[in-house]
Structure 1
Amino acid sequence: MLLFIGSPRFLSLSKLIFIPKTISLSVSASKMELESPTTLILCGKSSIENELAMLLKTNNTLKLPENASINVVLHSENEKQESFQKDAFQIDSYMNSLSTSRVGKFLIYSPKLASTHDVVSHNFCELPLGTVCVADVQLKGRGRSKNVWESPKGCLMFSFTIQMEDGRVVPLVQYVVCLAMTEAINDVCLRNGIPPPNVRIKWPNDLYLDGLKVGGILCTSTYRSKKFNVRIGLNVSNEKPTTCLNAIIQRLNSVTYQLQREDIVAAFFNKFENYYDIFICQGFQALEELYYKTWLHSGQRVIVQEKNENQDQISENVVTIQVN
């Protein structure tokens, strides 16, 4: 349900309030899997990041909640073994596609871990801004309303870090992230000769394709230290429990090509860094036109609450969202 506060003549993203349905997505992870050492493979885009990776390993710096056991490995030491693992995240492919100057250049990859968010949030001070953590399997992913679930192979699950000076605009970051992801998917499809899918943003932070949810974004922050962690989940190639990005694209376009997680996350950071710089320098209004082109709610009817200036009563009106 979407609820607007204020005059219907000035409907804006900043006045939207989201009232979520109560949904339980809890899935119990295997106790044995959680107690096994978590392998973290470190890799950098440049020699600077790779030197940091070596330092983090040598000093045993990285930590997980409850002092969980960690096995830290450098990508350069494990490269051959990774390339032969079926469905493993291909680090070299990701790095070759990445063209950013800041975000995504330091990568922490794990075949299986409890939560990518735990890695970046518990090691924020030791990691460079823009660090990304990617997992093939996530055992205790978390979303809104403290929902917890297991993310199997085929899902693109990653978290990354950013920093922002002005805490007042923090709620708008998720819109920039959603926009960057929809544009990244379009770019990857176009590069491979596939018509861009009509991925839409369901306010405030879900991604839909052909009427079904294929992804979601969650931003968490500790503003006292101006730290922000962004969590993203995109179902790329696992059709359970409903569908996935590749299945819908193949059905709509009769193609056999499979989008790869490495290409999508690299394209995302390439887009996000550009959009984030525009957002910081010019405000979200500079991105609004592009955002509304991917918005799911144009033409939908919503409830507008308006408080009478002379009374405490609140009146409700149903209006249709119009985007010019």
Structure 2
Amino acid sequence: MLLRVLLFHSLLRYPSLRSKPVNKTSVSYCYCNNLSASTFMASSVVDCSTLVLCGKSLAEIEAAKAIKSSNTLKLPDNEELSIVLQSELDGENVMRRSFNVDSFMNSLCTDTFGRLLVWSPRLASTHDVVSHNFCELPIGSVCLADVQTKGRGRSKNVWESPLGCLLFSFTLQMEDGRIVPLVQYVVSLAITEAVKDICNKNGLPSVDVKIKWPNDLYLNGLKVGGILCTSTYKLKKFNVSAGIGLNVNNEKPTTCLNTKLRELSVEAYRFQREDVLATFFNKFETFYRLFIDQGFQSLEELYYKTWLHSGQRVIVQEKNDDNVVEHVVTIQGLTSSGYLLAVGDDSQLCELHPDGNSFDFFKGLVRRKLE
């Protein structure tokens, strides 16, 4: 199968996000100290975002208390913010109605990642929370929202994701800038392997989520997820914020994990966001250590079993003066810098780069010959 390559745009959008105009009077949620279920209410008057801080062990609980006491967390545009500790929620825990923190923490088996959770029923962007507060949060902290209203989109579009998506962002720190672009592939692989692991542990048929380079997740030919990794450089370290969106239980506008289970006639089990998130971090921490210690080559074989592109033939269009020259190349894998490695019909190896203009990652690939 030939794929015609024309243009490219380096934009990642979460899978279930739809363009929607901003409504200044839209419903928001607010928590207060000593929160009870009766105070968890929708309000068109109060315009604030609420962050509930949760920790797996005493160390993370103390870190959460320090974060709240410092009162240094912030949101873009000086949006009003309310911060609450999980311990301040009363016995009628409203979080059980949405994200079950206890279930997540009990399934989490990591030393670093996911152990401090920042949860909110509704946020503009989880990625904004971790990237704007990177230095205030312990490395490995995760921010999760039930609903996200301003996922990043093209041309300043506002994107809204419905209930049922697993929407989260977390922090990590790296020293070697040469491998920073590859970490998105480790994140992608951890998500796909987490879904497989849950299926295996529960005796389920395989729900085979695939990776579309560089950072999309596909199921049955439809997009069900995406990854966004950004970084800043400070004090000789790269501060990386990784954001993930995965359709778990919302079958619109494409499909989701639980729709696939129904298609496989599985009725007794449904994927839960808590299980997927915990299993993801368990996988990611293992993969990330291998990645840092041994390089991405330690994960390549598994990655290539999961992505969609081995042997895929694409047409690269190049301008030569006023003429457009087409070259047919076959994708072989990834180069050490994280771009596509391909070979032409003339056996010439080349590296394919995006040109930064098109909406589709596989349009506008620029060929660079390799010696």
Give TM class, smaller chain. Answer: 0.7 to 0.9
Cα contact 1:29–1:150 (8 A) shared by 2:
no
Which position in structure 1 is the counterpart of 2:19? 26
CA distance in 1, matches of 2:125, 2:254: 22
More moved, 314-323 vs 263-272: 314-323
CA distance in 2, matches of 1:247, 1:92: 26
Which position in structure 1 is the counterpart of 2:303? 291
More helix by share: 1
Query: Which structure 2 residues correspond to residues 105-144 of structure 1 after superposition, within 5 A?
Result: 105-143=115-153
Asked whether 1:153 is paired with 2:180, we answer no
Which position in structure 2 is the counterpart of 1:72? 83
Q: 1:144 deviation in Å?
A: 6.7
Partner AA of 1:110 in structure 2: S
Determine helix, strand or coil for the equivalent of 1:321.
strand
Distance 1:84 1:120, change over 3 A: closer
Which position in structure 2 is the counterpart of 1:268? 280
Q: 1:153 deviation in Å?
A: 0.7
Partner AA of 2:228 in structure 1: L
Cα contact 1:250–1:256 (8 A) shared by 2:
no
Deviations 1:240-295 (A, max 9, x none): 11221110222134334210001001111111111111111111111110000001
Partner AA of 1:64 in structure 2: L
CA distance in 1, matches of 2:282, 2:268: 26
Runs of 4+, deviation exceeding 6 Å: 20-24, 305-308
Cα contact 2:12–2:226 (8 A) shared by 1:
no
More moved, 140-149 vs 96-105: 140-149
CA distance in 1, matches of 2:61, 2:11: 44
Cα contact 1:144–1:218 (8 A) shared by 2:
no
Q: 1:234 pairs with 243, 246, 250, which one?
A: 246
Which position in structure 2 is the counterpart of 1:177? 187
Identify unmatched segments of 5+ residues in structure 1. 4-16
Which position in structure 2 is the counterpart of 1:10? none
Deviations 1:40-97 (A, max 9, x none): 11011111110111122223221111221112111122163435753x1111111001
Asked whether 1:214 is paired with 2:224, we answer yes
CA distance in 2, matches of 1:136, 1:22: 20
Q: 1:194 deviation in Å?
A: 0.8
Identity percentage over the alignment? Answer: 62
Distance 1:74 1:2, change over 3 A: farther
Determine helix, strand or coil for the equivalent of 1:271.
helix
Q: 1:198 pairs with 208, 218, 228, which one?
A: 208
RMSD: 2.8
Partner AA of 2:24 in structure 1: K
How many residues end up aligned between the 2 structures?
A: 307
CA distance in 1, matches of 2:317, 2:180: 24
Q: Which has the larger radius of gyration?
A: 2
TM-score by length of 1: 0.86
Determine helix, strand or coil for the equivalent of 1:254.
coil
CA distance in 2, matches of 1:148, 1:82: 31
Distance 1:85 1:149, change over 3 A: same
Q: Which has the higher contact order (CA 8 A, sep 6+)?
A: 2
Q: 1:307 deviation in Å?
A: 11
Identify unmatched segments of 5+ residues in structure 2. 29-45, 334-371
